[in-house]
Structure 1
Amino acid sequence: MYRIEIDRSLCSGYGLCIDAAPELFELGSDGVAVARVDVTERAGALDAARACPMAAIAVAEERDRAA
């Protein structure tokens, strides 16, 4: 599982995260990226974080707390 966090103060709205993972990201009405989900199993979240030229996206791997 991956937790997605966006530093909205860094995002410049290039939209490369959306190109990398459109099922996980969108641009808000203010032109800044927002995550459609907080946690995902999709590795596309990592691709989106790497694609962001402003390094506004952080993706952290979450361990299953029940394990």
Structure 2
Amino acid sequence: MSGNKNDTSGQGMIVNPKPKADNQDWDGDEADRADRLRFEEEQAMIREQSEARAAAKAAAERKAAEEAQHSE
């Protein structure tokens, strides 16, 4: 950038476009779509791990309850 106050060409500036009322279907660039996809995949993996842990915990609690019932 030249540092000139009158430089209005925008060269060297970072521009983050935002959707406008007339462009609601704006989807960003390839990097934005890749980030969104990676985030969705990570969220799905976290959800699956959480569900698996909850199922394992419930199974362990059932087993402990059955063993306690059989020991009486």
TM-score interval for Structure 1 and Structure 2 normalised by the shorter chain: under 0.3
Q: Normalising by the residue count of structure 2, what TM-score does the alignment of the two structures yield?
A: 0.18
Which has the larger share of strand? Answer: 1
TM-score (norm 1): 0.19
Question: Which protein is bigger by CA-based radius of gyration?
Answer: 2
Bigger fraction of residues in helix: 2
